[in-house]
């Protein structure tokens, strides 16, 4: 899981997991080049899991991950989901800050060292 190359995570699930009606895949392009992406897949009738939020290194710090996250959440709401879960690893402090800043509740003790926590899991209600 964490520590594996991104390709291992991508190939862990069938493509159908990230296509409607069970999921979605979002890709932001600039001049035909991928600059940010993310996806979600269905966990149960009310919950989706956001996977692989990514921003190209040349485009980081411009709010693209926040935009991807917001659009994935909006699509989940449009499809009738009311909860989101996601996780990140100990070497992604930017992701942890993003999730905390956008209303995600940590399902771990944030006072602990990141390496002690290892998998940082979050939950967010999408209900109005």
- pLDDT tens digit sequence for 81-122: 999 999 999 989 999 999 999 999 999 998 999 999 999 999
Radius of gyration (Cα) for the chain, nearest Å?
14
Residue 47 CB contacts under 8 Å (≥ 6 apart), including other chains: 81, 82, 83, 84, 85
pLDDT category of residue 7 using cuts at 50, 70 and 90: low
Mean pLDDT calculated for residue range 40-60: 95
Spatial separation of the C-alpha atoms in residues 37 and 39, rounded to whole Å: 7
pLDDT of residue 49: 97
* CATH H superfamily, domain 6-125: Gcn5-related N-acetyltransferase (GNAT) (3.40.630.30)
pLDDT, position 8: 74
- The residue-averaged pLDDT of 50-76 equals 96
For residues 28 and 38, what is the distance between their CA atoms, to the nearest angstrom? 9
State yes or no: pLDDT of 2 exceeds 60. Answer: no
- Kindly tell me if the per-residue pLDDT of 1 is higher than 80: no
Task: Find all residues with CB under 8 Å of 33, minimum gap 6, and list them.
Answer: 56
């Amino acid at each position: 899981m964490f520590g594996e190359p991104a390709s291992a995570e991508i190939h862990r699930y069938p493509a159908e997991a990230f296509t409607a009606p069970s999921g979605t895949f979002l890709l932001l392009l600039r001049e035909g080049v991928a600059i940010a992406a993310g996806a979600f897949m269905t966990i149960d009738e009310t919950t989706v899991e956001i996977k692989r939020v990514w921003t190209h290194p040349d485009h980081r710090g411009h709010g693209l991950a926040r935009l991807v996250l917001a659009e994935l959440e909006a699509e989940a709401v449009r499809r009738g989901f009311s909860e989101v879960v996601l996780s990140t690893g100990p070497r992604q402090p930017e992701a942890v800050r993003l999730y905390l800043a956008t209303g995600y509740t940590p399902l771990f003790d944030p006072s602990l060292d990141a390496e002690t926590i290892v998998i940082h899991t979050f939950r967010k209600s999408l209900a109005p």
